Chain A
Amino acid sequence: MTARLIQLAFVALLLGAWFVVGRSGAISPLFLPPLDAVWQALLRLVQTDQFWSAVLVTLTTIAKAYSIAAVLGVLTGYLVTRSRFLTEVFEPMVSGLFSIPITLFFPLFILFFGIGTGSKIAYGAAYGFFPIALNSIAAFGSVDERLLNAARAMGFSPFGMFRHVLFPASFPVILTGLRIGFFICFASVLGGETISSVAGVGRNIALAAELMEPARMFAWIVFVIATALVLNTLVSVIENRMRGA
């Protein structure tokens, strides 16, 4: 309870500082528009249709990118850990590829998938895939050998093995991967939209910056932060429920 209070106090302090600095005129409103101006801009923004269509584009892109990343990531983790040899070959490859900044290939994504949402889906999926795959490899690969042997001795079918042993044993670690993957995916899609796109939240942030409308840009950013906070809470709730806590 005290921890929550301190957290809220921190946010209040931040907003208060923003308000005071904005009023004092110490920082040019071009760099940091006053808090109340941002608030007004946000209120105007949410009343426009463009706002909601941009939000819809971005959320749909994230949903598609994340679905691809989650399915391919968990599947890769499962397949790679089917033998010690496969794990030895592919685990270093996946973690090696993860260390490459995929951002460098962003122009290629545009080239291959166009400037529309396709490139952002692919980009977000590529970024989200790696943490999910790596966690899945670690999860499936570290299932207690004794439990697997016991299940084999009891005559479990391959599906039964997955359903009753592999999946429940690796679930907590996979869940961690899914969580990390989600936020990387979220950030990549928005980042991709900001760099190069024709629609979406990121595109609008970039546009507001280009048009020298800092209040509108900050309004968008505040909206993204609020969305991230809501999603984070949502993910925590889902995660806790799935972990049975």
Chain B
Amino acid sequence: MNLAPTSPKTALAHSPVAISVRNVSQNYGAASSPGAVRALDTVSLDIARGEFFCLLGPSGCGKSTLLNIIGGLIKPSEGAVTVGGAEVRGPLPGKIAFVFQESTLFPWYTVAENFGIAFKYRGIARSEWRDRTSAALKSVGMLDFIDHYPNQLSVGMRQRVNLARGIAAGTDILLMDEPFAALDEQSRMVLGEDLSVLLAETGKTILFVTHSLAEAVFLSDRVALMTARPGRIKTVIDVEEPHPRLPGFMLQPRFSELRNACYAALRDEIRQAMAAVPDKEGNA
């Protein structure tokens, strides 16, 4: 266990950098206005190729903002992000796929059509659509629902399909914004295990945002703990455990130690974030 924010001691430390975040800050509203918010404060990170990297922090610490900046959906106020050596200036559909918190399947299209539309704009040949769709759905156990509309599926099923759509895009990088947040505890665990197995096979670089300590430790190679707003990287914790992770990992003492270490580092930040909420509303 390593609590210092140094480079990881795993084999991944020697892998080339997939995502590099340099001094990124994000402000909302004009600096002079009373509603101005500094969401992120000079964040720097290097994420290695093939790494499962987790951003963990209290609500409102800017972790989703950081994810959206890396994915090119938001332009940072300061600093820059490079992916594969090139600076990110907008969405990179060929390199980066998103899996968002809530199901972002288009409700007016069937599951198959949802995959098709995502393939179309990523420039994937039409002849591959059906096979890719089937393979991805099969990997999450949703093949039988290929011609269903999203509202015919339960929340958990929708999120499985959503996850499969992100993986099927075939990008090297997957950005996941609390993909399991809308699920119940059991579905979360099962889907988490599936994800670990799936991703060990594909070798993708994953950036995963969550506020679940167990989820972060169970899935990640490294966990970055963020401070309350303005979000900074407080410390980075290494989880030296090979993928795919099996449920047994959660029963090991080391899992609890890591989880507790994360909690200890986050405790004050969570309290601070909670204290900030009524104050902020009081001013509004």
Contact = CB atoms under 8 A, between A and B. Distances in A.
B97 A153 contact: yes
Interface stretch (A42-50, A154-162, A202-210): A154-162
Contacts of A154: 91, 93, 97, 117-118, 121-122, 169
Contact of B98 (A153, A156, A168, A169): A153
B96 interface: yes
A169 B107 CA distance: 9
B100 A157 contact: no
Contacts of A146: 100-102, 104
Contact of B91 (A147, A153, A164, A169): A153
B106 A147 contact: yes
A165 interface: yes
Interface residues of A, number: 15
B98 A165 contact: no
Interface residues of B, number: 23
B109 to A, nearest CB: 8
Interface in A162-185: 164-165, 168-169
Contact of A147 (B73, B96, B104): B104
- Give the residue among A146, A153, A155, A160 with the most B Cβ atoms within 10 A: A153
Nearest to B90: A152
A155 B104 contact: no
B178 to A, nearest CB: 12
A99 interface: no
B116 to A, nearest CB: 10
A156 B121 contact: yes
Cβ-closest 4 pairs across A and B:
A155-B93, A150-B104, A168-B108, A153-B98
Interface of B: 68, 71-73, 91, 93-94, 96-98, 100-102, 104, 106, 108-109, 117-118, 120-122, 169
